[in-house]
Structure 1
């Protein structure tokens, strides 16, 4: 391709009415930042908040390359979208990436008319692709040659020096259109743990790679100067090195910046203590979640969580003492789980003091150990192309697999009960305990869910935007 090229990154609007975009995507922002730092002209269209007029905008922008990032459970709709895009613009090369690209790999090019897939981390690969480097020489690139043969290059080593990467280009997103006015911050990548259900290893790898506290503060300061006061730390292992986490908090405190930040992606229950929570609160942390999954030791061991149930109980104790609102993540029905064990988790989630909870119906992603075992034991109830579909009417509701110890009907009951508690706590947080409980009961009626989905989301968006204006009083000063 070479110098002077223009690249357009598109975030497809796949979720539709099942959600609302709260913030820009860090992965796309990082790759866009890398391309811009290398001297290329970069544009971003986020169809989640700008769904109309895509083809007209592409005609006006006339990009030399279009990049599309997607999640694994969006793949069927994204593939259709990509093929329609190629039909409309046959001469513009398409490169696909994100978690979906890393998880599905070659399958992406087998199922679409795209020319390229970038796996793992894409900051350096996108620059090499734009520069005109030979396809065969670009690590972590999957591509089609002139005969249409699909070639998968060797994997690129994971980026170790994250401080050297350009900051994510959130300024290229339409920041005023998101539900929340917050900046996502990635303080580390990778995870050394071996949870059987987790697909993140395909995209980010096993080695944990932290940014330095000083580099993180520099990014926060950059956006603070532009008027942003709320930040969302999006990595899964912010507290893996608790001394590093404390230093980040210390730097924020000593900087004098008055910010609010949260850890909604969850942290490990055995990587938190009272001293850290105290500093988190002092530096502006207003919410964090604990990745618990289960309080049954056998279930924790089978999922290879490397976590003791006692550590969960201790983490909840000190979390309550900290005064920071906190949440808990649970997974229903992993191997070794039973309905009786679920009920114990449910009771714990209901009474332990969580301000929010999440009960997840486990999704066996094709790259995971869980998926491989379920296939080997013939336990899947549907195929990945069926259950990896976020726009399905039953997405998240129907069991994807069952075991002799935890039947389909028991799983359906557990999922329904878990979702009820999720809604009770969310609505109680927004509207108070009495009104929230009543609203949660109404939400359980399926016809009402369908009728209220649109208006309910609109009310939720309005409330969140009101809170955003209330909290974020400084913009672009």
Structure 2
């Protein structure tokens, strides 16, 4: 019996570092496009954004086959959705990195009928057309209570033969952090020829790296731009190794420059390629590919060797230099909590990230995913203690290390994030961007972006470490005080990077102190200004006594969200500004901020040519 009504589902529950790079279910859109002409109906639902109950969705579409794509952190939620689908008479099929690695485990659950291993387009189409898994390559299934694994399906060789993802089936708006700019995703290749021990990609692609033609990719980009009505959009190249085919990337850049679209791209790249091809890096930045995420992993050669990364510290530095010189934004991910790491080694990670010139960094906890060499090694030693797949999110410690407890590893992730994401990092981002834009960012735009950053970090931190959020706030504060911020801001001069003329003219000479406190821990930001310059910014423990303006924030409202704590925080904000002189200085601060906001709004209404 053929399947005719297909529902493809992305479960909720994807969190941690993978969440940042997997916002749009592009894999399901590829599958939908590949089967669209073979079925009566196909729908895609993203339960991360959909506010309907899954039972209501099932009742609306009445699918006879429900397909669910999942990672490890979505294991439990996918099983819950599959159970609902089965109760309503649908067959269930799952795929993705996690099921590909553990098909026997997934088929041990009665609500799972089929597992598709590896790439799904051809396999699911044959399953739909035949109505049975027998003799279909790449399928695992149960027969008379026995799990059977059909032979692997060969990888799709000519990716240009695949139809473009079915963006027309999207039911949601995928927005950037500012909630106004559209996001989208595209892939130029599949697979990766790297051999990193902790990565899931080898189990999915077996190291088989294949590429689309630049012309085919450009055609999809033009259709994507049309889909978004030619508005400004942010697009991620989600290839595991975007620059795996340097000549193809070079040609694509020529096409992008020729069309001059209103698109800013980001890409996942290997540091060795960015170091080896400086001319292509230059052309990528010129073509609008401006944000790069590299697996830096660690400054420690021992870690780089144990993870089979195949790169060196010298490659790190050269890759970052090539990106910065062309106005691009070099970002890097680090792996903390590897079996032999110590606290002192991990604390050096954010310092190293700044020293080599990264403008963005993420610090993920080493997580052994099934199907990786890392998982096999730890599992054989009996070191994996976590049984809840929800916590395999690169933000929780799930196995025993030699030197560090679970709690210490998780606090180190918070420490590294705080130590890197200080004010000097944000200023550095703008300084690098000026090489390309040739203009200063307004104070209002800069502040708006920082507020969005703060909201994102707070929401995700509260979600990921909700049982111990107060302690993580203290760890954050402890890491944030940093004498290098003063040294950097004295050298660079913030007024040379941001447009502060109006604000400083109204504000004048001040020493503004903003203090963040939780229980007995206090960290203060000190801004020393004149009528024309910002002399320096300090981030210190405790408080200065000679400030002209004080703003005090009690972070108990974050550690213990409650209306009473919020009211106390509001009352506490100006508690150190009770003298006439400080009241007048505080008034000047708000007048300066108001002037900036009004000016920004006027420029938005009447933009300059």
Give the whole-Å Cα distance in 2 for the aligned partners of 1:185 and 1:138. 28
1:334 and 2:350 correspond: no
Deviation (angstroms), 1:417:
1.1
Secondary structure of the structure 2 residue equivalent to 1:277: helix
Partner of 1:173: 170
Q: Which of the numbers 431, 436, 450 marks the counterpart of 2:447?
A: 431
Secondary structure of the structure 2 residue equivalent to 1:243: helix
Asked if the contact 1:357–1:421 (Cα under 8 Å) also holds between the matched residues in 2, the reply is no
1:128 and 2:126 correspond: yes
Of the two structures, which has the highest relative contact order with CA contacts closer than 8 Å and spacing of 6 or more? 1
Give the whole-Å Cα distance in 1 for the aligned partners of 2:419 and 2:37. 46
Deviation (angstroms), 1:407:
5.6
- 9-18 vs 135-144, which moves further: 9-18
Deviation (angstroms), 1:28:
0.8
Give the whole-Å Cα distance in 2 for the aligned partners of 1:300 and 1:41. 48
1:148-167 superposed Cα distances (whole Å, 9 cap, x missing partner): 43221111111111111111
Partner of 2:34: 34
1:7 and 2:6 correspond: yes
Summarize the Cα distance change of 1:174–1:22 in structure 2 as closer, same or farther, 3 Å threshold.
Answer: farther
Stretches of structure 1 that go unaligned for 5 or more consecutive residues are: 454-469, 471-477
Stretches of structure 2 that go unaligned for 5 or more consecutive residues are: 430-445, 459-469, 475-554, 563-603, 605-609
Correspondence 1:52-451 to 2 at 5 A? 52-87=52-87, 89=88, 91-132=89-130, 134-145=132-143, 147-176=144-173, 178-179=175-176, 181-226=182-227, 227-228=229-230, 229-230=232-233, 231-263=235-267, 266-272=268-274, 273-380=277-384, 382-383=385-386, 385-386=387-388, 388-390=389-391, 396-404=394-402, 411-421=409-419, 424=422, 431=447, 444-445=473-474, 449=558
Partner of 1:462: none
Give the whole-Å Cα distance in 2 for the aligned partners of 1:53 and 1:21. 26
Asked if the contact 2:63–2:90 (Cα under 8 Å) also holds between the matched residues in 1, the reply is yes
Give the whole-Å Cα distance in 1 for the aligned partners of 2:451 and 2:137. 55
Give the whole-Å Cα distance in 2 for the aligned partners of 1:373 and 1:21. 27
Summarize the Cα distance change of 1:218–1:72 in structure 2 as closer, same or farther, 3 Å threshold.
Answer: same
Asked if the contact 1:24–1:175 (Cα under 8 Å) also holds between the matched residues in 2, the reply is no
- 354-363 vs 201-210, which moves further: 201-210
Give the whole-Å Cα distance in 2 for the aligned partners of 1:361 and 1:99. 19
Asked if the contact 1:233–1:261 (Cα under 8 Å) also holds between the matched residues in 2, the reply is yes
Partner of 1:475: none
Summarize the Cα distance change of 1:20–1:329 in structure 2 as closer, same or farther, 3 Å threshold.
Answer: closer
Deviation (angstroms), 1:143:
1.5
Summarize the Cα distance change of 1:308–1:352 in structure 2 as closer, same or farther, 3 Å threshold.
Answer: closer
1:120-174 superposed Cα distances (whole Å, 9 cap, x missing partner): 00100111011026422111111123x3432211111111111111111122112
Give the whole-Å Cα distance in 2 for the aligned partners of 1:208 and 1:124. 18
Summarize the Cα distance change of 1:345–1:23 in structure 2 as closer, same or farther, 3 Å threshold.
Answer: closer
Give the whole-Å Cα distance in 2 for the aligned partners of 1:143 and 1:115. 6
Give the whole-Å Cα distance in 1 for the aligned partners of 2:453 and 2:72. 34
Asked if the contact 1:302–1:335 (Cα under 8 Å) also holds between the matched residues in 2, the reply is no
Summarize the Cα distance change of 1:32–1:422 in structure 2 as closer, same or farther, 3 Å threshold.
Answer: farther
Summarize the Cα distance change of 1:51–1:103 in structure 2 as closer, same or farther, 3 Å threshold.
Answer: farther
Normalised by the length of structure 1, the TM-score is 0.83
Deviation (angstroms), 1:335:
4.1
Deviation (angstroms), 1:343:
3.0
Asked if the contact 1:299–1:335 (Cα under 8 Å) also holds between the matched residues in 2, the reply is no
1:21-72 superposed Cα distances (whole Å, 9 cap, x missing partner): 9842111111111111445521112121113143233223222211111112
Secondary structure of the structure 1 residue equivalent to 2:362: strand
Asked if the contact 2:91–2:113 (Cα under 8 Å) also holds between the matched residues in 1, the reply is yes
Larger-Rg structure: 2
1:392-439 superposed Cα distances (whole Å, 9 cap, x missing partner): 9xx655432343355656534522311324654798876389989999
1:432-460 superposed Cα distances (whole Å, 9 cap, x missing partner): 8998999989972596556679xxxxxxx
Aligned length: 442
Deviation (angstroms), 1:379:
2.8
Secondary structure of the structure 2 residue equivalent to 1:239: helix
Secondary structure of the structure 1 residue equivalent to 2:361: strand
Give the whole-Å Cα distance in 1 for the aligned partners of 2:307 and 2:402. 17
Give the whole-Å Cα distance in 2 for the aligned partners of 1:433 and 1:64. 45
Give the whole-Å Cα distance in 2 for the aligned partners of 1:314 and 1:408. 35
Deviation (angstroms), 1:17:
12
Secondary structure of the structure 2 residue equivalent to 1:183: strand
1:324-381 superposed Cα distances (whole Å, 9 cap, x missing partner): 122111101324433333233221113433222100101111211111211233333x
Asked if the contact 2:13–2:73 (Cα under 8 Å) also holds between the matched residues in 1, the reply is no
Give the whole-Å Cα distance in 1 for the aligned partners of 2:450 and 2:218. 41
